[in-house]
């Protein structure tokens, strides 16, 4: 429902949809905290979560400017109450009672920067935030957006292990933007309605570790191997495409906020007991020999209900899978090492 709500242009349609959702009065109370809510991803993400009728309490946290963001989105006439928290002293209040914590905090990528260049800054931010989560809302689902996701998710896992409260079912790396891009690019080449397209994306969330499985795309189109190779490359380079198009003035903030809101909505539906909620996510996994891997995941009341297998791969995809493993392994080890320093 949330996905269709996002793409409708009519405000009255949105309000009608929200009223229909609440006519039964059966929607559970859910607190969602966004850490990094005043940033380039955080602000549009706060707006989209305010529009989500599954959210009853929206907690916005950042090191500065959060009260203004909270005042702004708080005027929107939807269900959730919004509170903005600012600075280290208020992090506990922002987190207490949260069912879902979304973390877009950190610095964005600039032209010429690799996701690796972001590592030391964002890794430190994630480490501090996860230490607080372990203390103040240890049972919340965690949606990690802060890059490099291939490393920040293992960092979070190590921090939670140290605190004695790690639950691998509740920690997610958000790779939904790769799925969103793969759907959009595929629909354009296959000449099919984008709303009907689905493309699983596996691996990780950076460069060659991103592997869209166009052989499993629906609806299936008969595209040449050259086109599929180009679509794969474009999906892998989607972030760079945006960074270059913005000419140093930003990175993929709006599309990432949309993707983050889609995945958060799926997590909330899972928590609320909606059956068969399946999304791709970067989670602790035994699907490959790597400890963390992105693939299709069934979401439920405890977070990850089931990590689904990869399904049949084309020869091109099998090659891509083997090619991504060394880089993904290195990124995971880098995160674990950082967390344990």
Is 145 annotated as belonging to a binding site? yes
Is 109 annotated as belonging to a binding site? yes
Is 276 annotated as belonging to a binding site? no
CA distance 102 to 69: 16
Is 115 annotated as belonging to a binding site? yes
Is 146 annotated as belonging to a binding site? yes
CA distance 263 to 12: 25
**In this structure, are residues 213 and 201 in contact, taking their beta carbons and an 8 Å threshold?**
yes
Is 272 annotated as belonging to a binding site? no
Among 79, 205, 329, 334, the one annotated catalytic: 205
Is 62 annotated as belonging to a binding site? yes
Collapsing DSSP to helix, strand or coil, 122 comes out as helix
Q: Compute CA distances 190 → 186, 204, 215, 217, whole Å.
A: 6, 25, 13, 10
Is 260 annotated as belonging to a binding site? no
Q: How many whole angstroms from its chain centre is CA 191?
A: 27
Q: What share of the chain is helix, strand, coil (3-state, %, to 5)?
A: 50, 15, 35
Active-site residue, 205 included: yes
Is 256 annotated as belonging to a binding site? yes
Nearest to 268 by CA among 17, 91, 27: 27
Is 38 annotated as belonging to a binding site? yes
**Which residue ranges make up the annotated binding site?**
36-42, 62, 109, 115, 122, 145-147, 181, 256
**Which residue ranges make up the annotated binding site for substrate?**
109, 115, 147, 181
Query: Which of the residues are catalytic?
Result: 205
**Which residue ranges make up the annotated binding site for NAD(+)?**
36-42, 62, 122, 145-147, 256
């Amino acid at each position: 429902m949330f996905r269709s709500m996002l793409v409708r242009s009519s405000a009255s349609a949105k309000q009608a949809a929200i009223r229909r959702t609440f006519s039964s009065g059966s929607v559970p109370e859910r607190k969602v905290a966004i850490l990094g809510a005043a940033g380039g991803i955080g602000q549009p993400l706060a707006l989209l979560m305010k529009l989500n009728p599954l959210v009853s309490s929206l907690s916005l946290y950042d090191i500065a400017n959060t009260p203004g963001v909270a005042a702004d989105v708080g005027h929107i006439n939807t269900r959730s109450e919004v509170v903005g928290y600012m600075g280290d002293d208020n992090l506990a209040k922002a987190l207490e009672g949260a069912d879902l914590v979304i973390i877009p905090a950190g610095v964005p990528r600039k032209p010429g920067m690799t996701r690796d260049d972001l590592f030391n800054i964002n890794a430190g931010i994630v480490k501090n935030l996860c230490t607080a989560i372990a203390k103040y809302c240890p049972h919340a689902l965690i949606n990690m957006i802060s890059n490099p996701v291939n490393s920040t998710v293992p960092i979070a896992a190590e921090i939670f292990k140290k605190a004695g409260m790690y639950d691998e079912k509740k920690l997610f790396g958000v790779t939904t933007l790769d799925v969103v891009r793969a759907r959009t690019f595929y629909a354009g080449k296959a000449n099919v309605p984008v709303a009907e397209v689905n493309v699983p994306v596996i691996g990780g969330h950076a460069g060659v570790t991103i592997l869209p499985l166009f052989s499993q795309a629906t609806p299936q189109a008969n595209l040449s191997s050259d086109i599929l190779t180009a679509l794969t490359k474009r999906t892998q380079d989607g972030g760079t495409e945006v960074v270059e198009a913005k000419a140093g003035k930003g990175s993929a903030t709006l599309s990432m906020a949309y993707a983050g809101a889609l995945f958060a909505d799926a997590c909330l539906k899972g928590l609320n007991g909606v059956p068969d909620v399946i999304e791709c996510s970067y989670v602790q996994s035994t699907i490959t020999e790597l400890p963390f891997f992105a693939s299709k995941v069934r979401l439920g009341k405890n977070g990850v209900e089931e990590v689904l297998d990869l399904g049949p791969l084309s020869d091109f995809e099998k090659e891509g899978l083997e090619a991504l493993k060394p880089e993904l392994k290195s990124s995971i080890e880098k995160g674990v090492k950082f967390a344990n320093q």
